[in-house]
């Protein structure tokens, strides 16, 4: 009786590990060898400057080129319209929308200084909704929302945007 129960539990645990490894091992972006980044849309109801959409696109290109150099993810990473991608490359198009743009404030900095370790947290925030699209078919392969904050000494929205672009590159790295 005890051995049956033990074997049954062992089989269930083995099945859970097998199914979870299949789910984790799914690589959605493995076939893409070129990446094109489109300027992000800044909706009129978001308190963000119009240039923040172009800023995030430029920083995504920078971070993806870093990761491509280090891990060999893509052969080509370009901004939309800057260069022509040669034929024969399967292209991933990254586009999105700016959803939050919060500037740092002195009041929040002062308030966080009373919390132990709070002075190392940032008060500037940036968030965007990302869509990863197969350029040939126009099909959305993956969507995600990323929200980042600045850190203590670099308490600027520009740094929060840079961190957001780096997280986007990490998401692509995990999916590739």
Quote the pLDDT of residue 116.
73
pLDDT band at 39 (very low <50, low <70, confident <90, very high): very high
CATH node for 32-175: 3.40.50.10610
Q: Which residue has the higher pLDDT, 8 or 170?
A: 170
Q: Which residue has the higher pLDDT, 101 or 113?
A: 101
Only one residue has tokens 């590990």, namely 17
pLDDT band at 8 (very low <50, low <70, confident <90, very high): low
Quote the pLDDT of residue 149.
85
- Percent over 70 (pLDDT), the chain: 77
Distance CA 101, CA 94 (A): 20
The structural domains of the chain, with segments of one domain joined by +, span 32-175
Quote the pLDDT of residue 41.
95
Taking the whole predicted model, whether its pTM rises above 0.85 is answered as no
Question: What would the two tokens of residue 128 be?
Answer: 């965007």
Only one residue has tokens 């929060």, namely 160
Mean of per-residue pLDDT scores for the chain: 83
- The residue-averaged pLDDT of 46-51 equals 88
Distance CA 120, CA 122 (A): 7
């Amino acid at each position: 009786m005890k051995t049956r129960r033990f074997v049954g539990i062992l089989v269930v645990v083995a099945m859970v590990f097998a199914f979870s490894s299949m789910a984790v091992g799914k690589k959605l972006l493995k076939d893409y060898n070129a990446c094109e980044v489109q300027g992000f849309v800044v909706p009129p109801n978001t308190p963000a400057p119009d240039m923040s959409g172009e800023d995030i696109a430029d920083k995504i290109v920078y971070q993806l080129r870093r990761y491509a150099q280090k891990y060999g993810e893509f052969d080509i990473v370009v901004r939309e319209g800057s260069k022509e991608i040669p034929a024969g490359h399967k292209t991933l198009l990254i586009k999105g929308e700016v959803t939050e743009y919060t500037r740092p404030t002195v009041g929040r900095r002062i308030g966080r200084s009373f919390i132990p370790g709070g002075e190392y947290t940032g008060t500037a925030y940036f968030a965007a909704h990302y869509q990863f699209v197969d350029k040939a078919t126009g099909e959305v392969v993956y969507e995600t929302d990323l929200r980042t904050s600045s850190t203590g000494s670099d308490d600027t929205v520009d740094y929060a945007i840079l961190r957001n672009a780096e997280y986007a590159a990490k998401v692509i790295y995990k999916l590739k």
